[in-house]
Amino acid sequence: MKILVINGPNLNMLGIREPDIYGKQDFKELELYIREAAKSLGHDVTLFQSNHEGEIVDIIQSAYGVFDGIVINPAAYTHTSVAILDALKAVGIPTVEVHLSDISSREEFRKFSYVSMIAKKTVYGLGFEGYKKALEYFCK
Ligand code: DQA
């Protein structure tokens, strides 16, 4: 399947950013991991990262009629962005949400996710492997 993988703000800082929470591997390693996982599952994957909410809305809109599925780690926008939720609702593309960390056991504000309202599945707390689990959803 044609899958768009979207990573939100500050995920490009992996490796530097709070390694106790997000691990020591950097963003390039994450992208490589996702590409290899997608290949092993037979998916055609496109990767996108942005620190800007509007750019994430734009890429979701442009996925309409092009991609069969979306895997998204909206990062901090998870907890704030009605715009990203609305964009996902607008295009109606099946979406799986991923978080590297266990958002259920961190600060209170991380427990709520707008994207979870539309996501077919949410995977959290598994580090890089969460992206593979998300891609596996599209093998059904
Ligand atoms: C995150 C969790 C979010 O709460 C945080 O703002 C992030 C990353 C994760 O992958 O664990 O930037 O989405």
Q: What is the mean pLDDT of each run of 10 residues along the chain (140 residues)?
A: 98 97 97 98 98 98 98 98 98 98 97 98 98 96
pLDDT at 2: 98
78 lines ligand 1 (CB under 6 A): yes
Atom of ligand 1 lying closest to residue 130 CA: 10
CB of 25 shorter than 6 A to ligand 1: no
22 is annotated as an active-site residue: yes
Q: What domains lie within the chain, and their CATH numbers?
A: 2-137 (3.40.50.9100)
What's the confidence (pLDDT) of residue 140? 75
Angle between helices 53-62 and 82-91 (to 10 degrees): 0
pLDDT score at 119: 98
Interacting residues of 19 by C-beta distance below 8 A, sequence separation 6+: none
Residue owning the nearest CA to atom 2 of ligand 1: 75
pTM: 0.97
User: Cα separation of 27 and 33, whole Å?
Assistant: 10
The encoded tokens of residue 51 equal 């620190």
Nearest ligand 1 atom to the CA of 102 is 11
Q: CA-CA distance, 103 to 123, in Å (whole number)?
A: 10
Distance CA 91, CA 60 (A): 7
**Cα of 61 to ligand 1 centre, how many Å?**
22
Positions of E strands within the chain: 2-7, 44-49, 69-73, 95-99, 121-124
Q: Which of 43, 77, 79, 99 is catalytic?
A: 99
Which one-letter amino acid corresponds to residue 10?
N
Catalytic residue among 22, 77, 114, 131, which?
22
